[in-house]
Structure 1
Amino acid sequence: MPLHPDIAKALAAMPAPPPGPLDPVAMRAAEEAHVPPVAERLPLHAVEDATARTAAGEVPVRIYTPADAAAYGLLVYFHGGAFFLGSLETHDHVARSLAKETGLRVISVGYRRAPEHAFPAGLQDCYGVVRWAAEQGGSLAWDGTTLAVAGDSSGGTFAAAVAAMAYDDGFDRISHQVMYYPSLDLDLDVDRYPSLRENAVGYGLETAGLKPFNAFYLGSGADPADPLVSPIKRADLAGLPPALIVTGEYDPMRDEGELYGRRLEEAGVAARVSRYPGAGHGFVQHFSWIPDYHRAFEETAAFLRGAS
């Protein structure tokens, strides 16, 4: 199908980016300026800020409790933003929707971002919070069963990398991994995947923008050949948790996510790849108010319940 008309309308109304190099501070401020006040956000039983004390240091987290219960499954969520944008605030609505639709207690991670913090600081924060969640299971009322990791875009990169780190460490508590249009191959050669050319222009995120957006992360010491930077480069995917990979029809990064899903299946991992028609990159963050795309949260809930 063509690009969803509501997405096309929103893209047409977007102002052209300012000339010159990307300015992380200005771009973050612009993102934060669009965050709605708390009174206008999806209500939940409880939302609280906390600090996770991890092997990587103290990491700010926000904990979303969907309803009053004696125990909960847990979902640790890593926001997107090309490793230098995004925050607990800009992705607050995503975490709230995840909590509401899944019924899980969601822990959103305020990890350290590039370029101020060199690789692997942000990844270590994410992994540390997952370990902290398991270790603090009593205070989080964890039911001891579901401990999922999820992320969108670069947060999906972290979700895949954290699952691999846990496996290599013998930490077997992660039950599921969920990736929304993940960035899984930071070798940005435009001939690597057909979608990089097919969806290069006109769908929001453009292929020409991938290098400058990822430059802050790669310039901080992240090597695209490292499987913790480009999870698709991991030689053996066997033993990783069951995966849901959500892609957008018009996303330049569509093909790497779908290839990763096929490679997981070939390695014996239960993996579901779900392509959303009419969508470009970022639709879970920016367009989940459209029922067709809010369905990604419902699909996540079904996946975490084990429904087919």
Structure 2
Amino acid sequence: MNKMFWDPSRVIIGGISAGAWVAASFTLQNHLNRITERRPPIAGQVLMIPCLAHVDCYKPQMKKMKNESISSYKTNVSAPMLSVEELRWFTSQLKIENPNVNDLKINPGNASPEQVKGMPPTVLGVVGLDPLRDEALLYGKMLAEAGVPTDVSLFLGLPHGFRSHEEKLSAFNRWDKVIEDGVGWILSGPLCSEFHVKT
């Protein structure tokens, strides 16, 4: 690593949508010491519009809701850009037979507060018109309550993947800033604070 002139203590992992799912899974597996190969420690993670639970393993997420009828799986069932039906199709492409609700590789959002304690600082970008909205907000809440420094930004009224839209939206700049500032925030060595969602 020294030959590459980079600091292994400043590795940040991140992704958007399915990429954020992979990043969250890898970070959690690394934290739980389930990665077989030696890796540098992860300084933080940036998870933008993440999927955090396989669609067939979503019951633990629903149980965290005060009322299932207002869950994002219900209120955003036909959301533009990503409906629940499309989410099911994308998830089916993983070809996982009988997904296990306790398999944290595919369900990092189903981890317990005890399992996430001590995880690295986490930035979450969440959009309002997205079936995945609640699992991201619930994950951020659990992380914060477990003592993990967490920075959560919510883009109200915008659908999954809006940043890829051809027409320029005013929220593009905020999206880019959440990522850019999030990396700086992680590297600043933030402390945990109460769960808060920026809108």
Establish whether TM, by shorter chain, passes 0.5: yes
Query: Residues 79-105 of structure 1: CA distance to partner in whole angstroms, max 9, x if unpaired?
Result: xxxxxxxxxxxxxxxxxxxxxxxxxxx
- Supply the RMSD in Å over aligned alpha carbons: 2.6
Matched residue count = 172
Indicate whether 1:143 and 2:26 are aligned. no
Alignment partner, residue 163 of structure 1: 27
- Cα distance in 2 for residues equivalent to 1:285 and 1:142: 31
Deviation at 1:178, TM superposition (A): 0.5
Distance 1:221 1:148, change over 3 A: farther
| Amino acid across the alignment from 1:276 | F
Does structure 1 conserve the Cα–Cα contact (< 8 Å) formed by 2:109 and 2:139? yes
* Bigger helix fraction: 2
Alignment partner, residue 173 of structure 1: 41
Paired residues for 1:1-308 under 5 Å? 136=1, 138-139=3-4, 141-169=5-33, 173-188=41-56, 192=62, 194-219=71-96, 223-235=100-112, 236-286=115-165, 289-306=168-185
- Cα distance in 2 for residues equivalent to 1:288 and 1:166: 38
Distance 1:304 1:202, change over 3 A: closer
- Cα distance in 2 for residues equivalent to 1:165 and 1:137: 25
Deviation at 1:168, TM superposition (A): 2.4
Does structure 1 conserve the Cα–Cα contact (< 8 Å) formed by 2:163 and 2:175? yes
Flag the structure with larger Rg: 1
Distance 1:232 1:287, change over 3 A: farther
Identify unmatched segments of 5+ residues in structure 1.
1-135
My pick for the range that moved more, 153-162 or 209-218, is: 209-218
Deviation at 1:268, TM superposition (A): 0.6
Distance 1:162 1:286, change over 3 A: farther
- Cα distance in 2 for residues equivalent to 1:152 and 1:183: 9
TM-score, reference length from structure 2: 0.75
TM-score, reference length from structure 1: 0.50
Indicate the SS of the match to 2:163. helix
Deviation at 1:142, TM superposition (A): 1.1
- Cα distance in 2 for residues equivalent to 1:226 and 1:186: 10
Identify unmatched segments of 5+ residues in structure 2.
63-67, 191-199
Does structure 2 conserve the Cα–Cα contact (< 8 Å) formed by 1:185 and 1:230? yes
Query: Residues 239-277 of structure 1: CA distance to partner in whole angstroms, max 9, x if unpaired?
Result: 111001111010111000000000001111001111112
- Cα distance in 2 for residues equivalent to 1:167 and 1:297: 27
Identity %: 25
Q: Which has the higher contact order (CA 8 A, sep 6+)?
A: 2
